[in-house]
């Protein structure tokens, strides 16, 4: 009868156990989706509040600034003429709420400017989380030792948002991030400029992704082979002030 249990395993040297744990790692395709608050509730809350403390501009949105001239060119024209209390003779010591620019070319966006553009505020400040139903590696749930070993070997709770911690176990060296486009006929995301809405991802997570799979990319008219480099700039708009050693492998599904 075949042996299905190796009882002496705990007595193996720790180094050998670590090698066995490492050999158990299998590449996965991890489909990540956003779960967000109700749009109508957000807009109602935003319209009925005057510069509330609950609405904050995260510095991370500046990472996506390179695509804003393409996604909201007309909107950005008014950023330099924002109405302020000073124009009406009032004075205040409160500074305008704005994300830190990632470089000198990043357009200036302030909370006051967004008050007149709730559809853009929805993109910038909605509460959301990024989740996946991909099976979690079994060893992360076996015992404390195996969980610690896999974390040491590179598994992280990844893909936080501006309002939520990371909730998806992901190995940047082995796993593939899989994204589906938004609903057919919907407008491209202001944050990313294309049908795959990456605007809720944190920049530090995007910069670590090495394998990316896009559903429906082969049907997009702006994605011939010679344009892949341009598209990569839109997916991962890395400014000159940020560095990454990742070589992104893109797969169309």
The per-residue pLDDT for 243 is 43
Same domain? For 65 and 100 the reply is yes
- Res 135: pLDDT: 95
* Final residue of a structural domain among 110, 125, 140: 125
φ, ψ of residue 178 to 5 degrees: the values are -110, 125
What's the pLDDT score for residue 62?
A: 80
The values of phi and psi at residue 157, to 5°, are: -80, 100
pTM of the model: 0.74
Q: Are residues 135 and 179 in the same domain?
A: yes
Q: Is residue 186 one of the residues assigned to a domain?
A: yes
Q: How many CB atoms lie within 10 A of CB 164?
A: 17
Let me know whether 99 and 145 are in one domain. Answer: no
Q: 21 in a domain, yes or no?
A: no
Let me know if residue 3 belongs to a domain: no
Per-position pLDDT tens, the chain of length 253 = 677 777 788 888 989 999 999 999 999 999 999 999 998 888 888 877 655 555 667 888 888 877 777 777 655 555 544 444 444 344 444 444 445 544 455 556 777 778 788 888 888 888 999 999 999 999 999 999 999 999 999 999 999 999 999 999 999 999 999 998 877 656 667 777 777 888 899 989 988 998 888 887 655 554 444 344 444 554 554 443 344 444 455 565 5
- The answer to the question of residue 16 being in a domain is no
- Cα–Cα distance for residue pair 106/68, rounded to 1 Å: 9
Number of domains in the chain: 2
Residue 193 has a pLDDT of: 72
Same-domain status, 132 and 119: no
> Could you tell me if 215 and 120 lie in one domain?
no
CA dist 176 and 4 (Å) reads 31
In terms of domains, do 147 and 31 share one? yes
Q: Which domain holds residue 166?
A: 26-35+128-252
User: Measured in whole angstroms, how far is the alpha carbon of residue 145 from the centre of its chain?
Assistant: 30
Neighbours of 98 (CB within 10 A): 18
71, 101, 125: which is the final residue of a domain? Answer: 125
Q: Are residues 143 and 101 in the same domain?
A: no
Whether residues 65 and 157 share a domain: the answer is no
Same domain, 56 and 99: yes
Q: Domain for residue 87, yes or no?
A: yes
**Whole-Å CA distances, 95 to 84, 85, 110, 206:** 11, 12, 10, 30
Nearest to 26 by CA among 134, 185, 148, 187: 134
Q: According to the model, what pLDDT value does residue 16 have?
A: 93
Domain assignment present for 44: yes
pLDDT at position 101 is: 46
Which of 125, 146, 172 is where one domain is finished? 125
- Over the chain, what HEC string results? CCCCCCCCHHHCCHHHHHHHHHHCCCCCEEEEEEEECCHHHHHHHHHCCCCCCCCCCCHHHHHHHHHHHHHCHHHHHHHHHCCCHHHHCCCCCCCCCCCCCCCCCCCCCCHHHHCCCHHHHHHHHCCEEEEECCCCCHHHCCCHHHHHHHHHCCEEEECCCCCCCCCEEEECCCCEEEECCCCCCCCCCCCCCCCCCCCCCCHHHHCCCCEEEECCHHHCCCCCHHHHHHHHHHHCCCCCCCCCCCCCEEEEC
Whether 116 and 48 map to the same domain: the answer is yes
Residue 2 lies in a domain: no
Do the Cβ atoms of 144 and 180 come closer than 8 Å? no
- Bridge partners of 114, per DSSP, are none
Q: Tell whether 134 and 239 lie within a shared domain.
A: yes
- In a shared domain, residues 189 and 246: yes
Opening angle at CA 94, ends 108 and 123, nearest 5: 40
20: in domain: no
């Amino acid at each position: 009868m075949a042996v299905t249990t190796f009882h002496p395993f705990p007595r193996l040297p720790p180094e050998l156990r670590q090698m066995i744990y490492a050999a158990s790692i299998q590449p996965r395709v991890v489909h990540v989706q956003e779960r967000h608050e109700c749009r109508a509730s957000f807009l109602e809350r935003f319209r009925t509040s005057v510069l509330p403390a609950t609405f904050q501009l995260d510095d991370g949105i500046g990472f996506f600034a390179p695509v804003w001239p393409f996604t909201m060119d007309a909107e950005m024209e008014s950023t330099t003429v924002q109405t302020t209390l000073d124009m009406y003779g009032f004075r205040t010591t409160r500074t305008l709420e704005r994300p830190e620019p990632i470089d000198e070319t990043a357009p200036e966006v302030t909370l006051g400017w967004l008050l007149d553009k709730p559809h853009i505020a929805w993109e910038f400040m909605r509460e959301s989380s990024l989740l996946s139903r991909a099976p979690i590696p079994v060893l992360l749930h076996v015992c404390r030792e195996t969980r610690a070993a896999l974390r040491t070997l590179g598994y992280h709770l990844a893909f936080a948002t501006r309002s939520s911690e990371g909730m998806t176990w992901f190995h940047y060296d082995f796993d593939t991030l899989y994204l589906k486009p938004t609903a057919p006929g919907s407008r491209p995301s202001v944050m990313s400029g294309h049908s795959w809405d990456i605007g809720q991802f944190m920049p530090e997570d995007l910069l670590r992704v090495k394998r990316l799979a896009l559903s429906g990319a082969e049907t997009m008219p702006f994605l011939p082979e010679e344009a892949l480099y341009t598209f990569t700039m839109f997916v991962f708009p890395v400014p000159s002030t940020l560095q990454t050693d990742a070589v992104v492998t893109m797969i169309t599904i």
